Amino acid sequence: MLITNLTILVLAGFVGFAVISKVPNTLHTPLMSGTNAIHGIVLLGGLLVIGLSGNSTFNKVILVIAIAFGTINVVGGFLVTDRMLEMFKRKPGPPPKDGEGE
């Protein structure tokens, strides 16, 4: 199990390098905010631990907080990224109109 997971870990690292190294400066903020949303996937960890183990009251409290944190991370992250990217997407319209000089 450990070996399988480590294999996945290392390969995913290389995939991350390969996918991201082509991103232009312009999109650095959305990229960061998008990857930020993706690491909100720790939410799954909270869901698994709270759902599958017998938890004490204290654990339930910290896990509910963890799930709330994870949800903020995921939902907020994707929404904010979407808002930012929408601004970049609008661009294809205007350029022909105001071009670059004459």
Partner 1 sequence: MKLVPLTGHCHALLVQISHHPAVLRRVAAALARHHAFGSAPLHHAAVASATVCADIARYVGLSSLTFATAKASTSFIHNTDFLRVLYIVAFALFIYGLSGLTGPRTAVRGNRIAAVGMAIAVIATLLQPGEGNWGLIVLGVAIGAAVGVPAARRVKMTAMPQMVALFNGVGGGAVFLIAWAEFRNSDGFVGKPLYVAVFSLFAAIVGSVSFWGSNIAFGKLQELLPGRPITLGRPQQLVNGLLLAGAIVLAVLVADGSHSQLEFIGMLLCAAVLGNFVVLPIGGADMPVVISMLNAFTGLSAAATGVALNNPALIVAGMIVGASGSILTNLMAVAMNRSIPAIIAGGFGGGGQVEGASGAGAFEGTVRSVNAADVAIQLAYARLVVIVPGYGMAVAQAQHAVRELAKALEARGVEVLYAIHPVAGRMPGHMNVLLAEADVPYEQLKEMDDINPEFGRTDVALVIGANDVTNPAAKSNPGSPIFGMPILDVEAARSVVVIKRSMNPGFAGIENELYYKPNTAMLFGDAKSAVADITSELASV
Beta carbons within 8 Å of 75's beta carbon, 6+ residues apart: 40
Closest contact distance (angstroms) between CB of 4 and partner 1 is: 8
Rule CB under 8 A: say whether 57 interacts with partner 1: no
List the interface residues with partner 1, window 15-44 (CB under 8 A): 15-17, 19-44
List the interface residues with partner 1, window 62-91 (CB under 8 A): 62-91
Q: How many CA atoms does the CB half-sphere of 74 hold within 13 Å?
A: 12
**Residue 91, phi then psi, degrees to nearest 5:** -50, -45
Closest contact distance (angstroms) between CB of 90 and partner 1 is: 7
